[in-house]
Structures are given as C-alpha cells and as structure tokens.
Amino acid sequence: MKLEPLDIQPRLLLGPGPSPVPYPVRRALAEPVVGHMDPQFLAIVDHIQTMLRKVFGTANRLTLPVSGTGSAGMETAIVNFVEPGDTVIVVVAGVFGGRMVEAVEKVGGRVVCLEVPVGAAATLETLRQLLDDHPATRLVAVVMAETSTGVLQPLAGWGELVHSRDALLLVDTVTALGGMPVNVDDNGFDVVFSGTQKCLSAPPGLSPFTASDRALTHLDARKVPIPSWYLDLNAFRQYWGQNRVYHHTAPISMLYGLYEALRLVLLEGVESRYARHRQVAQALWAGLEAMDMELMVDTAIRLPSVTTVKVPHGVDEMRLRQYLLKHEGIEIAGGLQSLSGKIWRIGVMGHGARLSNMIELLAALGRGLRDQGRHVASGVEAAEAVYNRGNK
Amino acid sequence: MKLEPLDIQPRLLLGPGPSPVPYPVRRALAEPVVGHMDPQFLAIVDHIQTMLRKVFGTANRLTLPVSGTGSAGMETAIVNFVEPGDTVIVVVAGVFGGRMVEAVEKVGGRVVCLEVPVGAAATLETLRQLLDDHPATRLVAVVMAETSTGVLQPLAGWGELVHSRDALLLVDTVTALGGMPVNVDDNGFDVVFSGTQKCLSAPPGLSPFTASDRALTHLDARKVPIPSWYLDLNAFRQYWGQNRVYHHTAPISMLYGLYEALRLVLLEGVESRYARHRQVAQALWAGLEAMDMELMVDTAIRLPSVTTVKVPHGVDEMRLRQYLLKHEGIEIAGGLQSLSGKIWRIGVMGHGARLSNMIELLAALGRGLRDQGRHVASGVEAAEAVYNRGNK
C-alpha cells in the first residue's frame, strides 16, 4: 500500500458548493484541538451561537450548528418536528424539496406535495389553497434557495399565513445563508437549517440550525419520542444551552472553522456581503448572455448564489466540465436528475463571489467551447461593465 | 459584538477523548478544499477506505467513515440493522452500552439487557444463556472498549456464538480502533463503528464504520424502510461504492485529516502502535499505584486506552481537575453518571500515548494533590522503570 501524503491540486470552486474556503478559515481548522468541555471551547461555542443568530437574523435561543452536513440539518428539522400521521405540505421545486418528502415519509408523516415546474417558484396563493384543503397541516416545508434549479423562492407572507393555520414553517436556507438576507424572525420562519459550504465559505460538515420558541412549544408537546438519538434536539439543548451536558463529542476543528467563517462574514458586514453576491452574480449573468448562453431562471426569481445556464445545443456538457477542471482548474457542476446533461450550475458563493473569478470562468468557458469547435463572443467586457455600473 | 480571531491555549489532552491531534493531521485539515465529486478527492476517498480496512482488520466492501461523530456511527448501526419488533441483546456495562439501548428503543427494537456491574465485563456464558432464552434475537450489541469504566470487554468466541444463532454481532470500537487489535473479520464482527478522536488521533467528527456481507444480506432483506435519511447505508453505498452517486456533501476537510491520521497509523505499523499503547498504559498504572492510587478495573480486563482511577477519600475531584487544566494545561476527565465524583478517567490514546506525557501527568497529579494538602510518593520513577522494562 502506498502511503503518500496528501498532494492536493487547488481548484477554483465555482460549482454549487463547496465554495472556496479562504485561508484564515483553513488555518483555524488547524488550531490545536482542545476538549469539548474545556471552558475556552465553551466560550467559542457561545460566540458561534451569537454570530449565527446575527447571520440568521434571529433572537432564537435554540441556534446552533448540527454536527453533520446540511442534510443532517434537514433530518434534524424533520425528525424533531414531524410526528407519525402529521400532515406536512412540502414544496417540491427541485431535488432538495424532493429530499424533504423522503425524510418526512421516513418518520411517518403524511406528505402533501406542492409541486412546482422546474425553474419556477411556488405562490402564496397555491399554498393558501392547499392549506384550505388540508386544514390539519402541522408543518409547511420549503426550500428558499433551490440549489438544483437556481430558483429563489419568494417567501413574503408565508410565515403569517402558515402561523394563521397554527402550523410551523420549515425553511431550507442551505444556499442562502450568508449570501442573501434570511431574516428568520421578520419572516416568521420557525425551523431553519443551512450548510456551511455555500455562502459562508466554511468546509462542509456542519449545519447551522435555528428554531423559534413557537417551534419548541410544538417540540415539547410531542406525543411520540423523537425517533433519532444523534439528532435529538432536546439533547442538543442540554449542551448548547446553559447546562453543557455532554451528548456527543462536538466536531471541534470544524467549529473552529465555522467560528472564523462567521467572523469574516460579520467583519465584512452582512449587507455588504449580500450586495457583493448580487453584484457579482449580475456580472456573471451579463457575461453569459453576451456569450449567447441562455439562463434557465427568470430574473425575478433568479438566485444570486447559484446560476443555472442551459447547455447550448450540440455542446457536450460533461466534456466541457472536464475541460474546465483539467485544463483550467475550475469546477462547475452539471444538472441533477431530470436536468442532468441539460444545464450547468455556477456558484457565486461566499469567498468565491468576486468579479475576478467570474472573469476567469467566462474566459475559460469561451476556451472550453472553442475546444468543441464553438466560437462565441467574449463575456468578459459585459461582465466588467455591469459590475462597474453596480459599483458606482 | 467582539470579533476577535481564535486564540487557543493548547492543552495536553489526556482525557478519554479527544486525544492530541498531531501537527501533520491538523495541517491536512487546512489543505485546499476541493469538490466532493472531484477525481482527486474520490482517489482520497478510495485510499481512506483501503487504510480503514487495514486498521479494522477486514476485507468488508462496505467500509467508510460516516459523516458525523462516533454517536452517528452508533445510530447508523442501529437504524440500518434493527427493525421494529426485532429482539436485540444489548450488553450494558456502562454509559455507552446504555446509549445503544436508547437508540434501539427509538427504532422500535425490543431490548434485552445483559447488565454487567460497573467495572466488570460480560461473559460468553451469560450471553449464551440469554440467547437460549431469546432464540429470536436478531442482533447482539456490545461495547468493546467502554470509555465510561475503562473495561476491555473480551470478545473471543462471541462472533461464532452469535452467528450460530443466525444473529448479527454489532461492536462499538470507538475507544479501541487504532490503539489495540480489533480484527473485525477474525472475530466475526458484523457491524462495527468507531470514532476518530480516540486512538486514531484525528479530530472528532467522523465515525469509521464497517459492515460484513452477512450484515448487508440482512440489510437487503429489511421489511421496513430504513428510518433515517442522513444515515441510510444504502445511500452511502452509492457514493462510497463504484457509482459515486451524490447523497450528501462529504465533510472534505475532515476526510483530509482522517487520511493523514490513518497514514500515520500505518506508517508506524499497527502492531508497534498497539504495543506502544500497552507499554505506556502499563507505565501509567505503575506510576499511579506508586502514588497509592487505586485503579478501578482488574488487570485482566483493563483497557490500555482509558484508565479509570478512584478518587482518594477526602480529595475534591473537580478541584483537582481544575488545578490540572488551569495550572498545568492538562485535561483529564471525571466519571459519568453513577461514577461522577468517584473516578478520574485518563486517556492513553493515539499520539498522546507517550511516556513523556505520563511523566508530566504523574508529576502534575502529585502537585495537584499537594495543592489539597495531600502528600504522596512520586509515581515518576515507577512509571519509567516499567516502561523501560517493556522497552527491552
């Protein structure tokens, strides 16, 4: 067996996650490991909670990172807040809505799908209709930023509507948090999870999570025990609350990384960060359109953090991505499931959301298309022009 | 809000985990993050599997790190291999056996407890009796290295016995793997999980896991769907097998750390590593006894990786630990649950299993006792003598 040390060729990560992790965050990962009950570690835990509340836009006491990836956060939300027989409306507008359906079914929830065509968003009116049809609905689950389609789901009024029916609103903010306003409290979100490897630019492995006191009242009133040991919120509350009761060993190094990532977010300022994401995304869109590429999602509901672009007719989707990775050191992604082979997904996330990265990508994309005998106009100038307009 | 960078005071970690993480492993965590579908990352994933098989002592195809801490590995074992109504014998000889009872109950298993007095181990004879009494037993779950008591559970003959009853043997090797032989295949273990923050000396956050083909046959014959989305082994098999189907984003940086930690284990050689753990533990025991301290567990079933020592009458348990942490920068742990206030737990694990660390601890322990007006003989010379004897 060969036992060679790691020798990793860096990539420019412009797919839908992981996003580029800046050096201060990687350096934080390498800090000396201390115990999970060490007072200095518990102080870090406190700071992480405070910073997470700020980025989530919430005063929720229960705000913490779940010890697993974004999917663990999703499962935490479902296993704690759905009981067998509960009616749950799940908005399915892509792969990540689809996963919530599976997770709800696994705990015995009765799923009512609010199905949305690919590339579109759900409307408040449809939700109201469904709630009328299913008055016993206990929870409404929706993805705010659907990574598989690049759609930003408008959620104005959702909290109010769902609360008026005495249900909880569960929101997947994986590809939103740190890149656009989430405003948990103002929007009336009850249960919210996210990931670290998107707009926060930390490595994957943790899932920022928050739940309102309203949600905790539902949790306390559960009739059936929480069906998971590892993702039991009542146990988390013991360690992340004042008691500090040991449940599982916290992933210490990952939490160092999250601490530093959140610190960088707040040093930049959340509003500046959101503006940067928007401005860089707009530059990318202008560049792609100048290259005659078609964007999949209408401007009104287009995510700044993930852009979906249609693969031009006759272009070999996979070959272009392999060209980018091998010759340009750039990673972008293809489509998932029904969109496989049809779209590319380009991330404008966290530390990666910079004009220079978009210029590099647009130029490389041009070379990749030429490699397949396609000659397109440059997107660089258009991207720069739009960026500079926004920068004034 | 203060936004200061991390400023971590290093500790000498001699508790029951996390253990000291050597610099090469911490440096690996800081390597550039690449995508979870990047060919160079998939090659790392392959190497991790190969190295894990070597350390586990198995040829099992399904050998991989679960994306969560050791407790996530425990839950993975239970949710995949226990179905509602299944009879499961759980050996409860401490806190970590107790958790498996809770996890089995959460998925609707019928638990038969094989209860063992604190500080003791279960016998093959008792297990045989229980299996006779419960012939429909589907799974036997046991902790090999009980971190809460410091007992090493002898498991010779267990695999054979359990298989003769057509049941599966599930073994918690959290505090064993990398510090003593586990020999999954030779011992007939079917489902095995571990942690990274003990004798492997990687940070907490991953759970090495392996399952025999025999176990997978049981999995394929399940009547009820696996009740967890995040910990669904059938989904793991897709990503960690040949297909590389995306399920959740792998915790990339943590996997870099595990790669490096496993590499260090294999460079040292597993046999040398086990011998080092034994030899250093024996030195610690001699030192503690020279200081008139009483060890809780008989030599025959005493774990090399975690030593439990009784708190001398009249000594303030917590004050001594606080003295060690504050004045000496050394972390050891107290007892859990019924052993709280009664014992200390000292880890001899991974990178921390070195004579110099034991000397440092024994001397500091002497000062800590003096701080409480207790004057004891030095343990240093006895530890050195025993270590040198073993070193000849």
What is the model's pLDDT at position A238?
86
* Mean pLDDT (whole number) for B17-45: 97
Chain B hits for A266, Cβ within 8 Å: 1, 3
* Residue carrying the six token digits 């291999």: B81
Q: In this predicted model, what pLDDT tens digit does every residue of A185-205 receive, in sequence order?
A: 999 999 999 999 999 999 999
CA distance A40 to A31: 13
CA distance B328 to B363: 10
Q: In this predicted model, what pLDDT tens digit does every residue of A248-266 receive, in sequence order?
A: 999 999 999 999 999 999 9
What is the model's pLDDT at position A382?
98
Contact check, Cβ <8 Å, A40/B9: yes
Do residues A64 and A192 touch, judged by C-beta distance below 8 A?
Answer: no
What is the model's pLDDT at position A271?
98
Chain B hits for A261, Cβ within 8 Å: none
- Token reading at A93: 């507008």
Partner residue facing B227 (CB), from A70, A107, A256: A107
| pLDDT at B391 exceeding the cut of 80 | no
| A225 vs B: CB within 8 A | yes
Phi, psi for B54 (deg, rounded to 5):
-60, -45
Q: In this predicted model, what pLDDT tens digit does every residue of B253-307 receive, in sequence order?
A: 999 999 999 999 999 999 999 999 999 999 999 999 999 999 999 999 999 999 9
- pLDDT mean across residues, chain A: 97
Per-residue confidence band for A239, with pLDDT thresholds at 50, 70 and 90: confident
DSSP conformational letter for A209: E
Query: Which structural domains are found in chain B, ordered by start?
Result: 23-266 (3.40.640.10), 269-390 (3.90.1150.10)
Per-residue confidence band for B46, with pLDDT thresholds at 50, 70 and 90: very high
Contact check, Cβ <8 Å, A331/B34: yes
For residue A336, the chain B residue with the least C-alpha distance is B246
- pLDDT mean across residues, chain B: 97
CA distance A208 to B166: 42
Contact check, Cβ <8 Å, B228/A106: yes
Q: How many residues does chain B have?
A: 392
* Mean pLDDT (whole number) for A165-176: 98
Contact check, Cβ <8 Å, B68/A40: no
| pLDDT at B238 exceeding the cut of 90 | no
Q: Which of residues 145-184 of B touch A (CB under 8 A)?
A: none
What is the model's pLDDT at position A62?
96
Q: What percent of chain B has pLDDT over 70?
A: 100
What is the model's pLDDT at position A245?
84
- The CA-atom distances, in angstroms, between B377 and each of A116, A343, B366 are 75, 73, 8
Per-residue confidence band for A241, with pLDDT thresholds at 50, 70 and 90: confident
- H or E element, residue B202: none
pTM of the model: 0.98
Per-residue confidence band for B243, with pLDDT thresholds at 50, 70 and 90: confident
CA distance B24 to B267: 13
| B251 vs A: CB within 8 A | yes
For chain A, the straight-line distance linking the first and the last C-alpha, in angstroms and rounded, comes to 58
Chain B hits for A111, Cβ within 8 Å: none
Range with lowest mean pLDDT among A387-391, B56-60, B212-216, B376-380? A387-391
Cis peptide before B18 (omega within 30 of 0): yes
Please, which residues have CB within 8 angstroms of residue A343's CB and are 6 or more apart in sequence?
A296, A308, A309, A310, A311, A334, A335
For chain B, the straight-line distance linking the first and the last C-alpha, in angstroms and rounded, comes to 58
What is the model's pLDDT at position B244?
83
* Mean pLDDT (whole number) for A136-149: 98
* Mean pLDDT (whole number) for A337-359: 98
Partner residue facing A228 (CB), from B1, B69, B106: B106
ipTM of this complex: 0.97
Distance between B131 CA and the closest CA of chain A, angstroms: 26
Our CA dihedral for A266, A306, B243, B218, rounded to 10 degrees, sits at 60
What is the model's pLDDT at position B15?
98
Spell out the SS3 assignment of B77-90.
Answer: HHHHHCCCCCEEEE
Contact check, Cβ <8 Å, B231/A227: no
- The CA-atom distances, in angstroms, between B336 and each of A247, A352, B62 are 11, 45, 33
Contact check, Cβ <8 Å, B21/A32: yes
Which of A9, A196, A207, A230 has the most B C-beta neighbours within 10 Å, making it the best mutation to test the interface with B? A230
Contact check, Cβ <8 Å, A9/B34: yes
What is the model's pLDDT at position A2?
84
Distance between B262 CA and the closest CA of chain A, angstroms: 9
| pLDDT at B114 exceeding the cut of 80 | yes
CA distance A209 to B164: 46
For residue A203, the chain B residue with the least C-alpha distance is B253
What is the model's pLDDT at position B242?
78
For residue A225, the chain B residue with the least C-alpha distance is B106
Chain B hits for A225, Cβ within 8 Å: 106
Partner residue facing B8 (CB), from A17, A34, A205: A34
What is the model's pLDDT at position A206?
97
Q: In this predicted model, what pLDDT tens digit does every residue of A276-287 receive, in sequence order?
A: 999 999 999 999
Q: Which of A130, A141, A135, A132 is nearest to A105 (CA)?
A: A141
Q: Which of residues 353-392 of A touch B (CB under 8 A)?
A: none
